[in-house]
Amino acid sequence: MLTKEKFGSVNRVFVFCKEDEVVAEEFQQMMIDNYHPKETKIIHGAAHMVMFSKPRQLCQILQDVAHLFVSAYMPHYNSPPATLIQQFFKSIPIESLLDTQLTFENGMEKLPNSAIFGPDYLKTTMYKHCSLEDLELGKMLVRPTGLFVEDFSKEGMLTKEKFGSVNRVFVFCKEDEVITEEFQQMMIDNYHPKETKIIHGAGHMVMFSKPRQLCQILQDVANCI
């Protein structure tokens, strides 16, 4: 997946989160010392969930290095990110989730708090375009996935004044049956990334199904920074 010949061809920026007790500072420093990112940014007092503890500092770093959405939620300043998650769940038939288990801590009328993807859903939807080996490894790594609904429901996470200050690139994954092509196109049409890249035949797990194409896009974006 990584070769000596091409290693370093993508400009890598490492965000060093001080006071992180999950990926410890010593381990972060070891990676920096051994694998030599082009640049290291430091956020003090960040801990592990830096997007919540130090959102302004993280956003400033993203502004400096650009931001990439790979078939993912791309929010807008006109509503909290949770609104986009709500739109997503309204856009899909509930039966399409197959054996996925949803947890509703605030009642069935609210958004789910977490999800556990079942083996049928992984095989027929999420890992549909991946190898059998990747599917089986994915099954072994299944854990409850938090949706962070309360955090993403807060107003003011994105502001009109600063929206667009980060160069956003959206990677449109064709044949994605998790975040469908229609939903991806809706986000592109409404929220206007600076650039859209398309990967055909990717499905949802593009890092496994089309790793070379994705790496080429990452390299192209990094070289434009």
Give residue 181's pLDDT. 92
CA within 13 Å, CB half, 5 = 1
Helices (H), 38-180: 50-53, 55-65, 81-91, 119-121, 132-140, 149-152
Of 56, 62, 72, the C-alpha closest to 170 is 72
**Confidence grade of residue 225 (pLDDT, cut at 50, 70, 90):** low
Domains, in order of start, for the chain:
1-65 (no CATH), 68-223 (3.40.50.1820)
Of 159, 160, 149, 156, the C-alpha closest to 83 is 149
Q: What does residue 14 show for φ and ψ, rounded to 5 degrees?
A: -105, 125
Q: Tell me the two tokens of residue 95.
A: 């039966």
**Cα–Cα–Cα angle for 4, 67, 121, nearest 5°?**
85
Q: Tell me the two tokens of residue 141.
A: 């790594």
Give pLDDT tens digits for 114-143: 899 999 999 999 999 999 999 999 999 899
Tell me the average pLDDT of the chain.
83
The share of the chain scoring above pLDDT 70, in percent, equals: 87
Q: What is the SS3 assignment for 114?
A: strand
CB-count exposure of residue 188 (10 Å: 0-12, 13-18, 19+): middle
